């Protein structure tokens, strides 16, 4: 009776053991919800026969896909040996670029057994990923106006009327000097072109940068450094924001305190600063469409925030 029960139990567990021993591929994300500019890990775990030749994993994405990018990957790592199978693991570091609700298609992994020409393919389950823009920062509350502080009187205050005497003496000396040298030949003044207004200079430099298009030659860091400098210079000259010597985070904090820059534009400029920092310091490579969009966003920001007199002058010249 016990032998019969043991045999029936063995027959019931045999299919489950065979399924567990079969090669398979599992894909998992370290995060299912991320913000633009964040990184996450795509981890592949594969069980394959010992000695099998493995091809590079394939993630079928459309050619114009730009929601995220594979930043780097690590080689396969052997976790354990299970009979005739090996349990392998490999990580891919991804970086999110644009907000989207994604259904990532299954990852495929092809392998070939020793001595065989037939190629077998393993596929994982599809994954879901949500990418969103960071929430806008809350503006700080205005502090109450402090009362005027009155300083105590000083002895120098009583000497101010008498300080006019040396001023009159200096004026008398200056008049005599002017009469003496007024007959001298005065050289013609050198005509100096006045500097361009901040908006006209920014639009001019944006046009030159777009014409050169350094990102097409692989000089992505050079392009984003020049674009970030133009944006910082315009913010400093147009709005009085200390931007040329401040970090991106400090600039965003200063913009949050202003009422003349809308929340939508603060969000767009914050996104451009963050991606520019990733390019300059993390050697990230955004898609080509992002370069043109960032340049166009800054141009629209300059046109919308330029002084009214400057815009009217441009229309008259046209």
Residue 148 inside a domain? The answer is no
Look up the CATH number of the domain holding residue 59.
2.60.40.10
Residue 293 inside a domain? The answer is yes
pLDDT digits (tens, 9 = 90+) for 220-232: 888 889 988 988 8
**Parent domain of 47:** 21-132
pLDDT digits (tens, 9 = 90+) for 152-203: 777 777 777 777 788 888 888 888 888 877 766 666 777 677 888 888 898 8
Residue 14 inside a domain? The answer is no
Q: What does the pLDDT read at residue 318?
A: 43
Residue 167 inside a domain? The answer is no
pTM over 0.75: no
**Spans of the chain below 50 pLDDT:** 14-19, 311-318
Q: What does the pLDDT read at residue 62?
A: 67
The number of domains in the chain is 2
Domain identity same for 208 and 121? no
Q: Give Dmax over CA atoms of the chain in angstroms.
A: 134
Q: What does the pLDDT read at residue 308?
A: 74
Residue 154 inside a domain? The answer is no
Residue 139 inside a domain? The answer is no
Residue with tokens 């500097």: 195
Q: What does the pLDDT read at residue 296?
A: 92
Of 98, 115, 132, the residue at which a domain comes to its end is 132
Domain identity same for 95 and 205? no
Q: Are 134 and 34 within 8 A, CB to CB?
A: no
Of 112, 132, 152, the residue at which a domain comes to its end is 132
pLDDT digits (tens, 9 = 90+) for 257-285: 888 888 898 898 888 888 888 888 878 88
Domain identity same for 126 and 215? no
- In 3D, which of 215, 238, 218, 219 has the Cα closest to residue 291? 215
Residue 157 inside a domain? The answer is no
**Cα–Cα distance for residue pair 263/275, rounded to 1 Å:** 18
**Cα–Cα distance for residue pair 106/124, rounded to 1 Å:** 5
Q: What does the pLDDT read at residue 43?
A: 92
CA–CA distances in Å: residue 281 to residues 34, 97, 122, 250: 21, 16, 37, 17
Residue 310 inside a domain? The answer is yes
Domain identity same for 112 and 207? no
């Amino acid at each position: 009776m016990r032998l019969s029960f043991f045999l029936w139990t063995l027959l019931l567990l045999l299919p489950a053991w065979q399924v567990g021993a079969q090669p398979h591929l599992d894909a998992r994300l370290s995060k299912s919800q991320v913000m633009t500019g964040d990184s996450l890990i795509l981890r592949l775990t594969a069980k394959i026969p010992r000695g099998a030749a493995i091809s590079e994993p394939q993630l079928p994405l459309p050619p114009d896909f730009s929601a995220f990018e594979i930043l780097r990957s690590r080689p396969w790592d052997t976790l354990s040996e299970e009979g005739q199978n090996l349990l392998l693991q490999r990580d891919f570091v991804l970086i999110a670029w644009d907000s989207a609700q994604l259904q990532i298609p299954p990852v495929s992994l092809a392998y070939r057994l020793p001595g065989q020409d037939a190629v077998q393919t393993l596929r994982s389950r599809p994954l879901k990923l949500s990418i969103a823009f960071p929430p806008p920062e809350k503006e700080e509350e205005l502090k109450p106006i402090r009362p005027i502080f009155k300083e105590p009187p000083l002895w120098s205050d009583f000497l101010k009327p008498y300080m006019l005497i040396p001023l009159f003496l200096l004026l008398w000396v200056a008049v005599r000097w002017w009469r003496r040298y007024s007959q001298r030949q005065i050289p013609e003044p050198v005509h100096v072109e006045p500097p361009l207004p901040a908006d006209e200079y920014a639009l001019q430099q944006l046009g030159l940068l777009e014409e050169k298009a350094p990102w097409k030659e692989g000089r992505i860091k050079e392009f984003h450094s020049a674009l970030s400098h133009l944006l910082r210079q315009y913010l400093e000259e147009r709005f009085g924001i200390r931007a040329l010597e401040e970090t991106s985070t400090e600039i965003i904090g200063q913009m949050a305190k202003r009422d003349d820059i809308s929340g939508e534009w603060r969000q767009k400029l914050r996104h451009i600063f963050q991606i520019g920092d990733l390019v300059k310091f993390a050697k990230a490579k955004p898609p080509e469409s992002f370069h043109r969009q960032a340049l166009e966003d800054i141009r629209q920001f300059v046109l919308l925030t330029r002084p009214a007199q400057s815009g009217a002058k441009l229309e008259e010249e046209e």
